[in-house]
A and B are shown apart, each in its own frame.
Chain A
Amino acid sequence: MLRLDMNFVWNIVNLIVLYFLLRHFLIQPVMNVINKRQTMIEQSISNARSSEGQAAVLKKQYEEKLAASGEEGAKLIEEAKIQAKAQYDRILKDAQEDAGRVISEAQKKTEADQEKAMREAKAQIASLVIAAAAKVVGQETNAKANQALYDSFLAEAGDSHDAGSN
Chain B
Amino acid sequence: MFTFQVKKLIIILDFRQLKLFQMFKQLCALIRCYESVKKLTIFADESMIHGIPEQHCIFTRTILQIGKSLRKEVSITEELAEKLLEELNCETVFTIPIFGGIPIAESVVVTWVIMLALTVLSIILVRNLQVENPGKKQQVLEMAIGGLYNFFESLIGEEGKRYIPYLISVAIYIGVANLIGIIGFKPPTKDLNSTAALAVMSIVLIEYSGFRKKGGKGFLKAFAEPMPLLTPMNVMELFIRPLSLCMRLFGNVLGSFVVMELIKQVAGFIVPIPFTMYFDIFDGLIQAYVFVFLTGLFMKEALE
Chain A interface residues (CB < 8 Å from chain B): 1-12, 14-19, 21-23, 25-31, 33-34, 36-37, 40
Contacts and interface: CB of A to CB of B under 8 A. Distances in A.
Contacts of B102: 6
Given A25-B122, A26-B122, A3 B169 contact: no
Contacts of A33: 129-131, 134, 138, 142
A22 B146 contact: no
B129 A19 contact: no
B148 to A, nearest CB: 9
Contacts of A40: 131-132
A5 B90 CA distance: 12
B115 A18 contact: yes
B191 A21 contact: no
Interface of B: 88-90, 102-105, 107-108, 111-112, 114-115, 118-119, 122-123, 125-126, 129-132, 134, 138, 141-142, 145-146, 149, 165-166, 168-170, 172-173, 188, 191-194, 196-198, 200-201, 254
B194 A22 contact: no
Given A7-B103, A14-B108, A14-B115, A26 B193 contact: no
A136 to B, nearest CB: 134
B145 A31 contact: yes
Contact of B173 (A3, A18, A29): A18
Given A18-B118, A29-B129, A34-B149, 17 more contacts: A3-B192, A8-B197, A11-B107, A14-B115, A14-B197, A16-B201, A18-B169, A21-B118, A22-B172, A23-B166, A25-B126, A27-B145, A27-B169, A28-B165, A30-B129, A33-B130, A36-B131
Do most interface residues of chain A lie in helix, strand or loop, or is the interface mixed? helix
18 contacts: A4-B196, A7-B194, A8-B197, A11-B191, A11-B193, A11-B194, A14-B111, A15-B170, A15-B173, A15-B197, A17-B115, A21-B119, A22-B173, A26-B118, A26-B122, A30-B126, A33-B131, A37-B132
Nearest to A23: B165
Nearest to B129: A33
| Among all A-B residue pairs, the 10 with the closest Cβ atoms | A11-B197, A26-B122, A25-B122, A7-B193, A7-B105, A22-B169, A30-B145, A23-B165, A8-B193, A12-B197
B140 to A, nearest CB: 11
Contact of A14 (B112, B145, B149): B112
A34 B115 CA distance: 24
